[in-house]
């Protein structure tokens, strides 16, 4: 047989693209269109309906950046269309084919009921099937002119990322607003051809099935009259029917298909636009469910449901019906799809608590899995937290983006920090926006790592990132691919069903232990430093407000615990932990608003704490310690006077009058000595020497607190990525304008170093030593005006450390300092929370921070044979895309060096730096609400139970990485105690004795206790 593949393949493509696809809509008539440009921000439907509209012609430019234009559409279905399938078709002037980052619209009936959204991949709105001739059609269309931030593939900075800088010139030209007939035979032929052609092109050239499909396609087009596509489409389909009916092989891989619409809660659009995106997407999905009863749509992020509930009640009712009908599957169980690395442990617990409770309350559904396809790595505490929230499975997708190493499995048991394992899957289709293209189907099969052990994988399908969701074309493709020879099989089902089947296939020894580190997007640990600082500060203030509000509720008659206020503030903080807000990868508008929100949250939480402390009554100046560790340190009293005070964990004490045994002395204007450490500053402002006087050893191997400014232009994704070549070009900041003593003892010694550098940037650092403490603080103020740079602070210590330890959520992880394998080499930038610790047997050093996350640890051997381990904190970056002004301006933060530190010391000082002592006028608050005896048993949260029962909830964990046993003592009469899950539901009784509870924890175990107050 002659080889006619090229002729046939080209024929199929041309006829499909140029003749069949344009014939899908057989006839059309235009709407009469009027328009009204809403001033400023979006307006409610009622306001738009009452607005004055003016005639609008197709071909007219419309839509300033971030604007809203309402269009009134009126038309009539022609009489001779009676009995046919009629729909409205719109082209707002779409650019490209991505539905989430450009013009979008929501179509309403005149009474305000939303019907469906339109976007580049979903341009129709059903009118009737069958239609009645002469039927009137009347719509109000809310069109958003969101700019295409992705234009030029992020090649250059754009001012479009903020309404303040975007300008007002129209972005789009309205091309089409028609009432049209959908020719169903032609539409189905279009889909038949697409599915078979794409399958054919993925099969091997020697595969008989490929040739069978090719001949069928050629004969199908022979049956098609190009002058009468509509009249001959059914005949062309009949030729293809036997080929489409050939069943898949018995061993064919099965794709468990789940409808999906990834909607970033903010990214290349602000939060206010996400509220509208959810309404548009959810309208589409509920409309699709009416037509395709087999649809199962998985949707996470309780926050987005709440927005629809509050702003679009009609859509909300349709969602509730879809859930009840089985078409809609709430998943994820989190308030938002949070970043997987940066939120604190208690914040991740609250993500799960608030998300799962929302779905239970509103749908009667308890979600069983954590759905996080797009976060930038996943911390090692997740398996335990997920299980403690009642979850059985975990899903991600982003690991397919790894630059260097490929994870060995797609389905596996993920073992967390404490040993908890949870069944985990990341889809081999390598996208959470699948469309069932031939390429995707074939890739999923080829890519699947667990052949021979597993036979199924999950495929989330639907347009996403900016929403959109599944389409009718995808549903039709799924029907054709359900059982088709040569292809994987497609089975649309609930993700719980997939995980139940996959879990039985995968053996228990298929395990990945530890963090799921993404070998990409490492700069998200540092970009937008003020956003990250706002999160850290908010987590601290929430902890503080809950502890002292609980104390006041137990001890101050008449004080009302602020349940609603704390709930609202927690949800605000949780929202801003979304995986494109907290990581710093959103447009300028998002981060400008985030900083303002964090400031508002701080004001409200400070007021809650002040009111709680005031409710305890007056009676003198006291110091309040929110840390779980007892402290003896210098605080500043009224007028800024330093005072040395000892305060119990989670408690308060009178302002101290005692002094530590050794005062701080300042020698020659550059040496600080408190009897524990002696710090010598060089003339250039770096640390020339740090001497541990207790251990009698020099800590530094080279100058410390060395500030190094690196060139930082990654190959792609500026705000997301830092590539290894950044290390090769740098400037050390060694020109100090001044080195000045600002505190000269006896309780504080401090030297201020001022520098100017780069493009007009300035940095002022105050190096402080306190009486009685080995911690050396570096309080930092930066006025930052660099572009495409990263600033790091280095501490080269004279230690041979085989690994570093970094605090994460509810524990810490160890990472090798060598680069023996590609896995270690890829971890050239990592994250940690409050501290990083390096040690050799007998001696260690910690670097502590109050708001930074990114760092690197490296090891070199000196000429004298000794080893230098260098810890470098990433302080601030200057990416220009997608926010050209990222990190510009002022920053204030503190980091510290702690010589002679064990891991326990790092934990204690990490809490101390992040939870500063509070000085206030208050009465004796009595014993702490809870106190703990037992090394390693660490209290993370103290609050009243969410059900307003008055019970006290305490979350604690083992912090050192070993077994721990201790006693928790209550500062109130205890009636009983039980262990609960994260949602405060009972798991079993706790062992009590009077006002104490026995606690025994395995390494890094998290335990939630619910304590009932005895009413005497």
Tokens found for residue 819: 């680069």
Active-site annotation holds for 392 = no
- DSSP per-residue codes, 564-606: HHHHHHHHHHHHTTBTTTTTS-S-HHHHHHHHHHHHHHHHHHH
- Cα–Cα dist 307/328, whole Å: 17
Inter-residue contact 385 to 348 (CB < 8 Å) = yes
Is there a contact between 990 and 962 (Cβ–Cβ < 8 Å)? Answer: no
CA distances from 882 to 165, 341, 874 (A): 13, 21, 20
What is the 3-class SS of 863-884, one letter each residue?
CCCCEEEEEEEEEEECCCCCCC
Q: Which backbone phi and psi does 828 adopt, to 5 degrees?
A: -80, -10
DSSP secondary structure letters along 382-406: HHHHHHHTT--EEE--GGGG-SS--
Tokens of 884: 């050209």
Q: Are strands 803-808 and 835-840 parallel, antiparallel or unpaired?
A: antiparallel
Collapsed DSSP state (helix, strand, coil) of residue 235: helix
Which of 374, 366, 296 has the alpha carbon at shortest distance from 333? Answer: 366
**Cross-strand partners of 730:** 710
Residue 795 and residue 699: Cα distance in Å, rounded?
10
Backbone φ, ψ for residue 259 (5° rounding): -60, 145
The residue with tokens 């009667």 is 364
CA–CA distance, 452 with 91 (Å, rounded to integer): 47
The one catalytic residue in 148, 162, 374, 798 is 374
Provide the β-strand partners of residue 138.
74
Q: Would you state the structure tokens that stand for residue 1002, as one six-digit string?
A: 């395995």
Q: Which H or E run includes 577?
A: none
Instruction: List phi, psi (to 5°) of 777.
Output: -90, 145
3-state helix, strand, coil in the chain (%, to 5): 30, 35, 40
The closest alpha carbon to 468, from 681, 260, 737, belongs to 260
| Prior bond of 101 cis (ω within 30°) | no
781 vs 794: CA distance, rounded Å: 17
Question: CA 813 → CA 291, 405, 740, 801, 821, distances in Å?
Answer: 50, 20, 39, 14, 18
Backbone angles phi, psi at 412, to 5 degrees: -165, 170
What is the C-alpha separation between 320 and 1016, in angstroms, rounded?
Answer: 46
Q: Could you give the CA distance from residue 611 to residue 609 in angstroms, rounded to a whole number? A: 5
- Find out whether 719 and 881 touch, Cβ atoms under 8 Å: yes
Sign, CA dihedral 88-94-96-98, equals negative
Residue 65 has which token pair? 């950046």
Query: From CA 14, how far away is CA 664, in angstroms rounded?
Result: 84
End-to-end CA distance of the chain: 97
Report how far residue 148's alpha carbon sits from residue 101's, in angstroms, rounded to the nearest whole number: 5
Q: Regarding beta strands 411-415 and 511-513, do their DSSP bridges make them parallel or antiparallel, or are they unpaired?
A: parallel
- Annotated catalytic residues are 374
């Amino acid at each position: 047989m002659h080889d006619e593949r090229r002729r046939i393949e080209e024929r199929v493509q041309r006829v499909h693209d140029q003749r069949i696809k344009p014939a899908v809509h057989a006839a059309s008539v235009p709407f009469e269109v009027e328009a009204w440009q809403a001033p400023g921000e979006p307006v409610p439907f009622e306001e738009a309906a009452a607005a004055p509209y003016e005639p609008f012609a197709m071909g007219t430019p419309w839509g300033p950046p971030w604007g809203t234009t309402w269009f009134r559409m009126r038309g009539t279905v022609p009489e001779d269309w009676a009995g046919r399938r009629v729909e409205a078709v719109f082209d707002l002037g779409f650019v490209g084919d991505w539905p989430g980052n450009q013009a979008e619209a929501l179509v309403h009936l005149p009474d305000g009921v939303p019907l469906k959204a339109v976007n580049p991949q979903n341009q129709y709105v059903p009118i009737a099937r069958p239609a009645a001739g002469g039927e009137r059609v009347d719509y109000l269309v809310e069109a958003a002119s969101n700019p295409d931030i992705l234009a030029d593939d992020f090649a250059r900075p754009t001012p479009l990322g903020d309404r303040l800088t975007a300008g007002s010139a129209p972005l789009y030209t309205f091309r089409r607003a028609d009432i049209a007939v959908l020719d169903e035979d032609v539409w189905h032929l279009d889909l038949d051809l697409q599915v078979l052609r794409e399958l054919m092109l993925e099969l091997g050239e020697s595969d008989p099935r490929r040739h069978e499909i090719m001949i069928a396609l050629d004969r199908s087009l022979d049956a098609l009259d190009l002058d009468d596509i509509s009249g001959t489409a059914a005949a062309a389909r009949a030729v293809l029917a036997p080929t489409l009916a050939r069943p898949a092989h018995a061993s064919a891989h099965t794709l468990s298909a789940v409808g999906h619409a990834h909607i970033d809660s903010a990214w290349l659009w602000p939060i206010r636009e996400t509220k509208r995106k959810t309404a548009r997407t959810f309208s589409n999905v509920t409309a699709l469910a009416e037509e395709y009863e087999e649809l199962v749509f998985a949707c996470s992020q309780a926050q987005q449901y709440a927005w629809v509930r509050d702003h679009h009640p009609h859509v909300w009712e349709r969602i509730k019906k879809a859930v009840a009908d089985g078409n809609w599957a709430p998943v994820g169980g989190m308030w938002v799809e949070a970043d997987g690395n940066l939120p604190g442990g208690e914040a991740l617990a609250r993500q799960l608590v608030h998300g799962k409770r929302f779905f239970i309350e509103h749908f009667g559904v308890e979600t069983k899995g954590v759905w996080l396809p797009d976060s930038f790595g996943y911390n090692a505490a997740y398996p335990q937290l997920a299980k403690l929230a009642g979850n059985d499975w975990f899903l991600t997708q982003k690991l397919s983006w790894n630059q260097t190493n490929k994870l060995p499995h797609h389905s596996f048991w993920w073992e967390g920090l404490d040993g908890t394992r949870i069944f985990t899957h990341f889809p081999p289709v390598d996208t959470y926006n699948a469309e069932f293209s031939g390429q995707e189907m074939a890739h999923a099969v080829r890519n699947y790592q667990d052949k021979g052990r597993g036979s199924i994988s999950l495929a989330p399908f639907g347009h996403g990132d900016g929403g959109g969701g599944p389409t009718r074309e995808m549903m039709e493709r799924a029907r054709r691919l359900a059982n088709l020879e040569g292809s994987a099989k497609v089975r649309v089902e609930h993700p719980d069903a997939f995980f139940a089947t996959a879990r039985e296939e995968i053996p228990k020894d298929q395990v990945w232990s530890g963090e799921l580190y993404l070998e990409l997007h490492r700069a998200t640990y540092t970009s937008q430093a003020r956003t990250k600082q706002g999160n850290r500060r908010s987590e601290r203030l929430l902890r503080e407000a809950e502890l002292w509000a609980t104390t006041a509720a137990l001890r101050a008659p008449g004080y009302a615990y602020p349940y609603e206020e704390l709930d609202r503030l927690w949800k605000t903080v949780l929202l801003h932990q979304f995986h494109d807000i907290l990581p710093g990868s959103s447009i300028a508008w998002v981060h400008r608003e985030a900083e303002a929100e964090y400031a508002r949250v701080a004001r409200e939480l400070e007021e809650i704490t002040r009111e709680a402390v005031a409710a305890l009554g007056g009676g003198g100046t006291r110091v309040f310690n929110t840390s779980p560790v007892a402290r003896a340190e210098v605080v500043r009293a009224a007028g800024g006077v330093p005072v040395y005070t000892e305060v119990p964990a989670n408690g308060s004490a009178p302002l101290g009058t005692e002094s530590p045994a050794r005062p701080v002395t300042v020698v020659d204007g550059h040496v600080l000595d408190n009897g524990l450490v002696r710090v010598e500053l060089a003339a250039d402002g770096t640390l020339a020497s740090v001497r541990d006087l207790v251990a009698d050893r020099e800590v530094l191997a080279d100058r410390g607190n060395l500030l190094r400014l690196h060139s930082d232009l990654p190959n792609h994704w500026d705000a997301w990525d830092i590539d290894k070549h950044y290390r090769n070009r740098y400037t050390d900041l060694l020109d100090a304008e001044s080195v000045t003593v600002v505190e000269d003892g006896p309780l504080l010694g401090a030297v201020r170093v001022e520098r100017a550098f780069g493009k007009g940037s300035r940095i002022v650092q105050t190096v402080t030593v306190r009486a009685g403490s080995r911690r050396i603080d570096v309080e930092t103020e930066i006025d930052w005006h660099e572009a495409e740079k990263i600033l790091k602070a280095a501490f080269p210590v004279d230690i041979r450390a085989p690994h570093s330890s970094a605090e994460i959520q509810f524990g810490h992880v160890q990472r090798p300092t060598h680069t023996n394998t590609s896995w270690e080499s890829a971890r050239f930038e990592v994250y940690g929370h409050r501290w990083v610790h390096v040690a050799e047997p007998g001696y260690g050093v910690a670097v502590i921070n109050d708001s930074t996350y990114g760092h690197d640890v490296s090891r070199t051997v000196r000429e004298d044979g000794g080893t230098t381990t260098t810890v470098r904190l990433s302080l601030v970056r200057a990416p220009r895309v997608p926010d050209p002004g990222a990190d510009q301006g002022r920053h204030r933060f503190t980091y510290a060096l702690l010589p002679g530190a064990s891991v326990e010391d790092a934990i204690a000082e990490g809490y101390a730096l992040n939870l500063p002592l509070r000085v206030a006028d208050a009465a004796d608050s009595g014993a702490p609400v809870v106190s703990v005896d037992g090394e390693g048993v660490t209290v993370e949260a103290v609050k009243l139970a969410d059900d307003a029962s008055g019970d006290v909830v305490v979350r604690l964990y083992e912090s050192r990485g070993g077994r721990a046993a201790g006693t928790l003592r209550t500062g109130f009469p205890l009636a009983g105690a039980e262990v609960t899950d994260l949602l405060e539901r009972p798991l079993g009784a706790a062992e009590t004795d009077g006002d104490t509870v026995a606690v025994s924890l395995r390494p890094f175990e998290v335990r939630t206790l619910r304590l009932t107050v005895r009413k005497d």
